[in-house]
Amino acid sequence: MRIVIFQDLKTIDYKKAWDYQENIFNKVLASRTTATSNRSNTDKTDAGYLLFCEHPHVFTLGKSGAGENLLINPDFLQKIGATYYKINRGGDITYHGPGQLVGYPILNLEALGLQVKQYIYLLEETIIRTLSEYGINSTRMDNSTGVWLDAGDSRKSRKICAIGVRASRYVTMHGFAFNINTDLSYFGYINPCGMADKGVTSLQKEMGEKQDVVEVSEKIKHHFSDLFSVNLKNS
């Protein structure tokens, strides 16, 4: 099995985490290039990294997103203690904040034998299987990445996990944002993922009580390791 290095960054400023991701991305990319040039390479540690963290209140807009999906002005951003970044992942606008588990897999997809679509599918499946442990049936939605509840009912459909990734030369960054104990009122300041008519939810809301983030994190790590056929090694 390939080894993926796991790091828990705790609560970290978004820009600081983004810069850290970029550094690791370049490291994994360099490792991939070295392995490609040396076909006898048998190092099993080049599969990459998985970072977990939480962010202070922040809105991020993907490279294909529309700025008007942020519904508030800079002065109001400051009033609610939030920041805003235009970033280099796919997708539209989303929110990160306390009580939300953010996962950044920085992976060498070539080492794992995966295409980008397969990679996104497995990320979604990781969350779907985690939610099933809480008795929650979740699915994908056609033409929209992420994990949804009641995806087939336009009146009830709501997203519980957003996914937005960047992949360059088969190395990934950015990832998923899973609402656990998230303050959902912040989603009211945006059109989440560019969808004005879709709702959002959290594990806390669906379960009716606050959830143990550490417990949820461990379940996600288990399913991630199983689905990607990797061993997670703490750093």
Enzyme catalytic residues: 193
CA atoms within 13 A on the CB side of 154: 4
Phi, psi (degrees; rounded to nearest 5) at 69 = -75, -10
Beta-carbon contacts of 152 under 8 Å, excluding residues fewer than 6 positions away, are 139
Q: What is the DSSP track for 129-187? A: HHHHTTT---EEETTEEEEEESTT-TTT-EEEEEEEEEEETTEEEEEEEEESS--GGGG
Beta strands in 75-117 (DSSP E): 83-86, 93-96, 100-107
Strand partners of residue 4 = 232
How many angstroms separate the CA atoms of 215 and 209, rounded? 14
What 8-state DSSP symbol labels residue 49? Answer: E
Helix (H) / strand (E) element for 109: namely helix 109-112
In this structure, how many other beta carbons lie within 10 angstroms of the beta carbon of residue 215? 11
Q: What is the rounded CA–CA span in Å between residue 198 and residue 212?
A: 27
